[in-house]
Structure 1
Amino acid sequence: MSLGVSLSVGSQRDTLSPNTGKEIHLLVYKFGLQCDVFISAAIVDMYSKCGHVEDARKVFDKMPKRDLVTWTVMISCYAECGSPEESMALFDRMKDNGIVPDKVSMVTVVFACAKLGAMHKAKMIRDYIWRRKFSLDVILGTAMIDMYAKCGSVDAAREIFDQMKEKNVISWSSMISAYGVHGRGREALQLFPQMLQSGIRPNRITFVSILSACSHSGLIEEGRQFFNSMERDYFVESDVKHYTCMVDLLGRAGRLDEVLELTERMKVDKDEGFWGAILGACRIHGHIGLAEKAAKNLLELGPRNSGYYVLLSNIYANAGKWEEVAKVRQMMTGRGVKKTPGWTWIEINNKLYQFIVGDKSHPQFKEIYEMLKLLVERLELAGYVPDTNFVLHDIDEELKAEFLYTHSEKLAIAFALIATAEDSAIRMTKNLRICGDCHTFIKMVSNIVQRNIVVRDSIRFHHFSNGSCSCGDYW
């Protein structure tokens, strides 16, 4: 019976059928098999792969004994389902329970830390790996490259890359991607010939990384050359992701005619990401006609991503078409799509804090708002004027300015200024794309307070220093 049940659980895990899996779970309790570690671990794994985090955790907590594999599965579950902070807490608890991680579990923890984006956690994990003397093989080394890149230090990622004795195409592609998201496109491109010299042939992922790096740095001609050479020189067939990168590259530069030309001649099926990239380009350059075409195709694909609806709404709002804005919002309501709230995480003294717009939940919110007020006054004397075009509500200008002043990024920076040493860097993560006003605000703050500020948004990293940003205002 035990083997049969475990095989059934494994089958539901592989086919991602949580309803049938729950029926099997009930059978486990009916036959008194919940104490079987192997079966319980399989149920945790099943719920994890189905994205049912709470169900997985309930089974996990009730297990009388947990092995390393079960701990690793639960840690991975939280990371995959958007709760990396829970992954890290569980990793600490696992060690406290005397369970010694192996290399496989460390790869899972490294992945969770990359999702979290917390530098102090990345350093702790690196130190633990060094103490345990785990070798930097292709899998662990590549995971650490990704972790450091997503925690804000591309230089630390490069150190790991250089220490790896063996690298495969994924390792090289990850390092190229790391340079790209940090706006260091030239360095990303320099890696490509080095990869070829090492005997590694590029694949589709490599070219996605290269084209994305070109897009983030505005390297239009270089991007064109790589796109054209894929099939001609390296026999890599272009897919929708490569076309999406090209749309992003050309769209950011305002070359929407070329985007249309590319769209018409491409032979692969267009997906949500492709049309979303076109919609993003229209948001930057205010092209309503093309935006409506992209939105029509997106809605036919039936996306549940609220970001697409918000982008279209923003385009209409910028054009003052408030009736169209209302229609988009009604459409979202009708389809049960909810807008993702914007928040900012900031790392202060090895602890993460979260802010939302207008947040007053922090115990020090009075000091935070007082610091923000002083900061705005200094910035206004230096010439800062709030860009109310980024407040997409039909309200008067004064209310728009007040709304802008309490964006989550600004609150996080104000908190950092009262809670950290004057010479320390400020690091934070934004779950959405940083708005243009906050971008200008942070540039000026970095100059006035002479602090380096690193912001990871949903698109890329921004490194602010001395009044400028690593993106060159191109994002």
Structure 2
Amino acid sequence: MSGLHLQATIPSSNPTHLPQQFHRSPLKALESCSAMSELQQLHAHTIKLGLSTDTDTMGQIIKFCSASKNGDLEYALKVFDGIPNPDVFLYNILMKGFWRMASRPRDAIVLYLRMLHDAITPNSFTFPCVIRACCVDSAVREGRQVHAQVLKFGFGEDVVSSNNLIHMYVNFLSLEEARRVFDKMPSRSVVSCTTMITGYARSGFVDEALEVFESIPEKSSVLWNSMVAAFVQTGHFHGAFALFERMLDEKVVLDKFIAATVLSACAGSGALGLGKWIHFYIQSNEIELDPKLASAIIDMYCKCGCLEKALEIFNGLPSKGLSAWNSMIGGLAVHGKGDAAVKLFMEMEKEKVAPDHITFLNVLTACAHSGLIEEANNYFEHMMDFYGIKPRIEHFGCMVDLFGRAGMINEAMEIIEGMPMTPDASVLGALLGACRVHGKVELGERIGMEAIDLDPSNSGRYVLLANLYASAGKWQDVAEVRKLMNDREVEKIPGFSAIELDGNISKFVAGDRNHPESELIYAKVDAVLESIRKVGYEPDINEVLHDLSGEDIETPLCYHSEKLAIGFGLLKSKPGETIRIYKNLRICRDCHCAAKLISEVFSREIIMRDRSRFHHFRSGECSCKDSW
């Protein structure tokens, strides 16, 4: 940022070409400027008028060059370097341009250091910009030094500076430091509270987020929404619903932002009843259906098992944003409708809607769940060659999953070996799962240990490896994996199945007898199993030996959580009604077999959403075609 010969960059011009108002008010003319060519002419004449050192005039020129989408930051820098004694106002404008418009946060920090070197005292507009630059550049050490200078220069009680410090420390995952800034603020804004709540939620500290929320006596709708979102982000859906109910009791207006957040909670937990109620409320109160809300409604119906309703909403949108297309394609993918997802993507291209990385992730997922190998290969190349979208690790993971499901282990390995980044545990986990299914024990053992090393606290990695050993009868190795889990104090995720009836969600775990109607439920399950035994059901004893995925292996197979939820659904719903179940883990093979037979014997459609996809059981068949 050394001084440059500015005059060489300014074109000569005729004063008669200038707007008439420039002669009356140069500042107003500069404010209405819309192009660099015009700006350069105006700049030339400010110099002729002797305004080259006028702070307001030069500030307007630098502001246009550094803040306008039609500007030129390098030109702004040349103008700045030509000013003998730039003041804090000019420094602030240029710093803001560096971090906001040009994505050059490091240059903003360097410019701030130059300002201090030149003995220019920062003001309240300086620090928010510099703090944000430290945030973007992940400049932790510099950020703490700037914090010290905020206090040194007397801006410790400035709300905007404090809000930005909280944001910075949250971004650095330094929540204790963020909380210290928050607690020392004499007055807090909505931004202060929402930033703190969001920071806690991002790190999984929902109780701390709730503490901040409850400390605010006057709660705006933004704060309510932030706290509901915190529950959703941490997977505490019941907390989100309880808070939403409290909102309604306290007469907080349900706006489009809160509606979208609660709909995401419904999608996450399978709470179709509440999701329908919110959709009805939106329609009845004519709440604006912006792209985010429209996508939330579609996503809710997809993830609650109502694919036809989601398609109805999607097709009825007067204009479809990218998020709506993504939600609908993603919904078709998790329901195993690969051909329909690909067809919808082709319609999206015809509508000239540019896809993003999420679109292609959904398309590749759809292909993986439906075994569309050729289509997946084509779209993987299409993403790069036609749209210039570089595959992320999730896209490579989809391709590994696709080939693994098809038993094409060598092709899956080629994908991993050709990745430009190091494969993570989820990519290796996809291959490990395929090794188990297709009996590749030696390769699976190596991949399994790599996955565990990458993600040592995730019980799923140990489970996959142990199941691989169990399927090969290597029981000593199974015992060693279990011992490794115990030594590292890795806890298995408890499996559960949930069902919503009449707006109430009932959750079951294997062998669960805590439900108030457990005796009736168990009697119903026994009767159901007796009925399907007559048409050929035999419990898969191997499943008891192999299933280490979170269901209690000591619990009799007939009382797995899936069967308890189905039994409760048959007990409480009307004949012919669809039974919808949400399961947090992968459905076991025995329960999958039982659900198919139950759908046939009892003439019921059972829609079960497990960890990765939907299973539609109807007339003795499943939509996944026994591959999941």
Q: Residue 431 of structure 1: CA displacement? A: 0.3
- State yes or no: 1:20 paired with 2:177: yes
In structure 1, C-alpha distance between the alignment counterparts of 2:192 and 2:295, rounded to whole Å: 32
Q: How does 1:234-383 map to 2 (within 5 A)?
A: 234-383=387-536
1:221 is aligned to 374
1:170 is aligned to 323
SS of corresponding position for 2:538: coil
Structure 1: which 5+ runs fail to align? Answer: none
> Number of residue pairs matched?
468
Query: Comparing both chains, which one has the higher relative contact order based on Cα–Cα distances under 8 Å and sequence gaps of 6 or more?
Result: 1
Aligned Cα RMSD in Å?
2.3
Q: How does 1:428-439 map to 2 (within 5 A)?
A: 428-439=581-592
In structure 1, C-alpha distance between the alignment counterparts of 2:341 and 2:467, rounded to whole Å: 33
Confirm or deny: 8 A CA contact 2:367 2:373 kept in the other structure: yes
Confirm or deny: 8 A CA contact 1:2 1:39 kept in the other structure: no
Tell me which moved more, 287-296 or 311-320. Answer: 287-296
1:107 is aligned to 260
Listed one character per residue, the Cα deviations across residues 263-308 of structure 1 (whole Å, up to 9, x for unaligned) are 3333333122211110111222232112112123213323422111
Q: Residue 128 of structure 1: CA displacement? A: 1.1
SS of corresponding position for 1:427: strand
In structure 2, C-alpha distance between the alignment counterparts of 1:333 and 1:68, rounded to whole Å: 45
- Aligned partner (choices 227, 231, 246) of residue 74 of structure 1: 227
SS of corresponding position for 1:162: helix
Listed one character per residue, the Cα deviations across residues 180-226 of structure 1 (whole Å, up to 9, x for unaligned) are 11011111111122111101123322221111101111222222222
Structure 2: which 5+ runs fail to align? Answer: 1-156
Higher Cα radius of gyration: 2
Tell me which moved more, 425-434 or 298-307. Answer: 298-307
In structure 2, C-alpha distance between the alignment counterparts of 1:38 and 1:219, rounded to whole Å: 47
Q: Residue 251 of structure 1: CA displacement? A: 0.9
Q: 1:368 to 1:278 in 2, by over 3 A?
A: same
In structure 1, C-alpha distance between the alignment counterparts of 2:422 and 2:554, rounded to whole Å: 43
What percent of counterpart residues are identical?
Answer: 40
Q: Residue 91 of structure 1: CA displacement? A: 1.5
Q: Residue 153 of structure 1: CA displacement? A: 1.1
Confirm or deny: 8 A CA contact 1:161 1:175 kept in the other structure: yes
Q: How does 1:405-416 map to 2 (within 5 A)?
A: 405-416=558-569
2:50 is aligned to none
In structure 1, C-alpha distance between the alignment counterparts of 2:174 and 2:619, rounded to whole Å: 53
- Aligned partner (choices 185, 188, 196) of residue 338 of structure 2: 185
Q: 1:105 to 1:349 in 2, by over 3 A?
A: closer
Q: Residue 39 of structure 1: CA displacement? A: 5.0
In structure 2, C-alpha distance between the alignment counterparts of 1:228 and 1:462, rounded to whole Å: 30
Equivalent AA in structure 1 for residue 166 of structure 2? V
In structure 2, C-alpha distance between the alignment counterparts of 1:433 and 1:109, rounded to whole Å: 25
Q: 1:259 to 1:433 in 2, by over 3 A?
A: same
In structure 1, C-alpha distance between the alignment counterparts of 2:181 and 2:424, rounded to whole Å: 36
TM-score by length of 2: 0.71
SS of corresponding position for 1:278: helix
In structure 1, C-alpha distance between the alignment counterparts of 2:453 and 2:447, rounded to whole Å: 10
- State yes or no: 1:452 paired with 2:599: no
Confirm or deny: 8 A CA contact 2:202 2:234 kept in the other structure: no
In structure 1, C-alpha distance between the alignment counterparts of 2:338 and 2:475, rounded to whole Å: 39
Listed one character per residue, the Cα deviations across residues 123-163 of structure 1 (whole Å, up to 9, x for unaligned) are 01101111221232222111222111111111111122112
In structure 2, C-alpha distance between the alignment counterparts of 1:240 and 1:14, rounded to whole Å: 23
SS of corresponding position for 2:492: coil
In structure 2, C-alpha distance between the alignment counterparts of 1:139 and 1:259, rounded to whole Å: 36
Q: Residue 61 of structure 1: CA displacement? A: 2.6
- State yes or no: 1:61 paired with 2:188: no
In structure 2, C-alpha distance between the alignment counterparts of 1:259 and 1:8, rounded to whole Å: 45
Equivalent AA in structure 1 for residue 170 of structure 2? R
